[in-house]
């Protein structure tokens, strides 16, 4: 058996741990720049507030106090997540951290007679007591089924635990699962399946293999097998190195200010390079992209991008920023106003040997050591304490965050400020 355990309305639940007066009230958490809604309490869901709603659409509700909104506080959610995952680890060594709020748990070595319902309730109780987060858990023989059972636990089981350990229970679960809620079937395929009168997971698994293979690729077929209880996906532990690292931001306002965007690109590159070094990789390519505002009527949407092949793989912020700015020069069009900019590092390889180019500049070997020192200083003295000059002075990347809660679990200075009042 696998289990999929996740925190209910995770970001909202994190906020509630530190302010219990939020219990029972409609609460939402906003994305970067307080742009859209990315988490909702059950009460907010019941008010009909959809995922992804722009914040300005619910502004009146927030200002009148009918809806409580928080800016996102990833330092808090990340820390709460780690604590929750540690509790999961007390029940089985097989924990795959699948996202910030959910994990697959491996119970394949457990005796068949195990009472998984009771085990699930145990996990739930312990997380609730020690971390303060309500969780839901679904048990089943494959990961895709465990996902479906987790949804059933959340929607239909007051105890927050659902188990499918017999063919009959699996069949029943498939009938209860709308096809659009199956893990691996997204919006496009769901719409197409519904046109074919396929509305539930039970109906989906009745489709012939070659029909699925042709229209939904090998992935669709894997989903079918998993729903039938034939495991395709194994537990994945440890963090595989990223194959791409991307940093991008939406600006608070559209901008044509070249210097501003130049600093932003340099900064995004520095942030991405830091992640690159943290996982011990070098990058071979850097892509810079610019986007105009897709919601503007009078200007057609433009997405510009340019990729530079670096003369040698590197993780030096200095080298990467140099080529990022060159890429920006290539695509910059002064007549446009940009809403979003970003960079992406690809062609990642483990640090070690690298192929050099006979006719192009050689790497500066001193950078490696310099970057190590910068990273170490920034770790102890605070992010961005030491910067490359091109990153400018903290203006390009500032987010609008009007409603962020304190970083309760990681920043003493913020806690002390509250209690000083």
Partner DNA sequence: TCTGGGGTCCTAGGACCC
Sites of contact with DNA (CB under 7 A): 31-33, 35-36, 38, 52, 54-56, 59, 98-99, 101-102, 147, 182-190, 217-219, 242-250, 252-254, 275, 293, 295, 339-340, 342, 344
Edge-first strand listing for the sheet containing 102-106 = 95-99, 102-106, 2-7, 135-140, 161-163
As a three-state string, the secondary structure of 42-53 is HHHHHCCCCCCC
Q: Which is nearer to DNA, 122 or 257 (CB)?
A: 257
Helix (H, G, I), strand (E, B) or coil at 251: strand
182: DSSP letter: S
> Minimal CA–CA distance to 15: which of 57, 72, 82?
72
Nearest-angstrom CA–CA distance, 355 and 311: 9
Contact in structure between 306 and 349 (CB atoms under 8 Å): no
- At closest approach, how far in Å is the CB of 227 from DNA? 13
Q: Which is nearer to DNA, 59 or 329 (CB)?
A: 59
- At closest approach, how far in Å is the CB of 161 from DNA? 19
- At closest approach, how far in Å is the CB of 78 from DNA? 13
Contact in structure between 293 and 259 (CB atoms under 8 Å): no
Tokens at 12, concatenated: 């909202």
- At closest approach, how far in Å is the CB of 66 from DNA? 18
- At closest approach, how far in Å is the CB of 118 from DNA? 26
Contacting residues for 343 by C-beta, under 8 A, at least 6 apart: 246, 247, 248, 265, 268, 269, 272, 286, 287, 288, 289, 324
- At closest approach, how far in Å is the CB of 246 from DNA? 3
Tokens at 67, concatenated: 């809806």
Task: Name the one residue in this structure whose structure tokens are 């074919």.
Answer: 196
Q: Which is nearer to DNA, 295 or 419 (CB)?
A: 295
Q: Which is nearer to DNA, 218 or 356 (CB)?
A: 218
Tokens at 376, concatenated: 């170490």
Helix (H, G, I), strand (E, B) or coil at 298: coil
Q: Which is nearer to DNA, 169 or 275 (CB)?
A: 275
- At closest approach, how far in Å is the CB of 202 from DNA? 17
- At closest approach, how far in Å is the CB of 341 from DNA? 9
54: DSSP letter: B
Task: Name the one residue in this structure whose structure tokens are 């800016």.
Answer: 71
> Minimal CA–CA distance to 162: which of 121, 212, 113, 112?
121
Q: Which is nearer to DNA, 218 or 379 (CB)?
A: 218
- At closest approach, how far in Å is the CB of 241 from DNA? 8
Q: Which is nearer to DNA, 92 or 250 (CB)?
A: 250
Nearest-angstrom CA–CA distance, 261 and 387: 17
Task: Name the one residue in this structure whose structure tokens are 């440890």.
Answer: 238
Q: Which is nearer to DNA, 17 or 38 (CB)?
A: 38
Instruction: Determine if residue 290 is left, alpha or beta; phi over 0 gives left, psi from -120 to 50 gives alpha, anything else beta.
Output: beta
Q: Which is nearer to DNA, 9 or 409 (CB)?
A: 9
């Amino acid at each position: 058996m696998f289990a999929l355990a996740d925190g209910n309305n995770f970001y909202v639940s994190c906020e509630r741990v530190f302010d219990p007066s939020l219990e029972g009230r409609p609460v939402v958490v906003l994305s970067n720049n307080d742009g859209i809604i990315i988490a909702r309490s059950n009460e907010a869901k019941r008010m009909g507030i959809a995922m992804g709603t722009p914040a300005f659409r619910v502004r009146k509700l927030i200002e009148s106090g009918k809806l409580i909104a928080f800016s996102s506080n990833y330092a808090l959610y990340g820390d709460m997540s780690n604590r929750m995952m540690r509790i999961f680890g007390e029940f089985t060594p097989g924990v795959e951290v699948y996202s910030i709020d959910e994990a697959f748990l491996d119970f394949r070595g457990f005796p068949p007679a195990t009472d998984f319902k009771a085990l699930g309730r145990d996990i739930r109780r312990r997380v609730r007591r020690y971390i303060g987060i309500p969780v839901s858990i679904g048990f089943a023989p494959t990961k895709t089924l465990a996902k479906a059972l987790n949804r059933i636990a959340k929607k239909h089981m007051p105890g927050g635990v659902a188990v499918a350990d017999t063919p009959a229970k699996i069949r029943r679960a498939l009938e209860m699962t709308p096809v659009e809620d199956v893990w691996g079937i997204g919006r496009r395929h769901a719409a197409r399946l519904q046109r074919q009168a396929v509305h539930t997971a039970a109906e989906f698994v009745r489709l012939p293999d070659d029909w699925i293979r042709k229209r939904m690729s090998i992935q669709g077929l894997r989903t079918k097998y998993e729903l039938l209880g034939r495991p395709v996906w194994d537990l994945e532990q440890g963090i595989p190195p990223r194959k791409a690292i991307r940093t991008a931001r939406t600006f608070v306002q559209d901008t044509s200010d070249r210097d501003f965007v130049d600093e932003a690109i340099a900064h995004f590159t520095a942030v991405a390079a830091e992640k690159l070094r943290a996982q011990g990789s070098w990058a071979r390519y850097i892509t810079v992209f610019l986007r105009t505002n897709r919601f503007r009527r009078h200007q057609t949407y433009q997405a510009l991008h340019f990729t530079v092949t670096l003369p040698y793989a590197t993780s030096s912020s200095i080298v990467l920023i140099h080529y990022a700015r060159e890429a920006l020069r290539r695509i910059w069009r002064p007549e446009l106003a940009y809403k979003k900019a970003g960079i992406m590092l690809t062609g990642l390889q483990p640090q070690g040997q690298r192929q050099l180019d006979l006719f192009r500049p050689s790497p500066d070997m001193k950078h490696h050591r310099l970057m190590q020192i910068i990273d170490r200083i920034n770790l102890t003295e605070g992010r961005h304490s030491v910067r490359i000059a091109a990153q400018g002075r903290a203006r390009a990347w500032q987010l609008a965050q009007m409603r962020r809660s304190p970083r309760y679990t990681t920043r003493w200075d913020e806690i002390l400020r509250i209690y000083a009042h």
